[in-house]
Amino acid sequence: MVRLKNRYLLVNILYPELEDRQGRAKVPDVVEFNQPTTDAFTAGSLLKGLRAEIASMFGDYGSGAVAESMTVKYLSSATSTFILRVSRAHYRIAWAALSLMTSVPVKDGEGKNCVFRVVRVSGTIRKAEEEAIRRARELILKARREIGEKSNSTLDDIFGGATEGNIRPENTKEKDILMVDRSDSEEENEDDSDGDG
């Protein structure tokens, strides 16, 4: 029996065009740059937009190469983060298409201008999860440092009262923070290397 090998791409959606801030509370640039994505952004619309981009860049070859293996394993509109699973042989096709996408593909309308940044390529979904959690914590701490301690109430409103020492409740495990489809239990034992082994 042949084991299918996949790669998991952890992707952040960034919004480099800052909106007009008049009449709103001062929000740190790091938060504005990493703002939440619209709720109309779904896994289906992401796959549809990504497949269209792959077809325009790589034609029938690219579409056929990733057709069976490409799925969204995790999608968070709140953190503008998703984990995409693609076969190991063709993950660079998906990565290239993501790098050239310029707007969030949403149903019934044009999405906002954005940048899709692949921040981690992993052989296991567990490593991608750990990186997503680490980056979320880092973003909270960076925003806290940027706004300073004098305006702590604004960040409490944004992040729901998390403090630097206690980012998550005591009774919450890391697995509860990031809920991911774990139907690929075989891949958890793979290493992160790009080798053929």
Per-residue pLDDT of the chain (197 residues; tens, 9 = 90+): 778 899 999 999 988 876 655 545 566 666 677 778 887 888 998 999 999 999 999 999 999 999 889 999 999 888 889 999 999 999 999 999 999 998 887 766 666 788 999 999 999 999 999 999 998 888 888 878 877 754 555 555 555 554 444 444 444 444 444 555 555 544 444 444 454 44
Considering Cα of 38, then 43, then 47, then 50, what sign does the dihedral take? Answer: positive
* 160, amino acid identity: G
- The set of residues, in sequence order, having a beta carbon less than 8 Å from that of 68 and lying 6+ positions away, is 87
The pTM of this model reads: 0.69
Q: What are phi and psi of 13, to 5 degrees?
A: -105, 120
- Among 86, 66, 67, 64, smallest CA distance to 10 is for 86
The span from the CA of 180 to the CA of 168, in Å, is: 18
Please give the domain boundaries of the chain with CATH numbers for all domains. Answer: 7-17+27-134 (3.30.70.3250)
Do the Cβ atoms of 121 and 23 come closer than 8 Å?
no
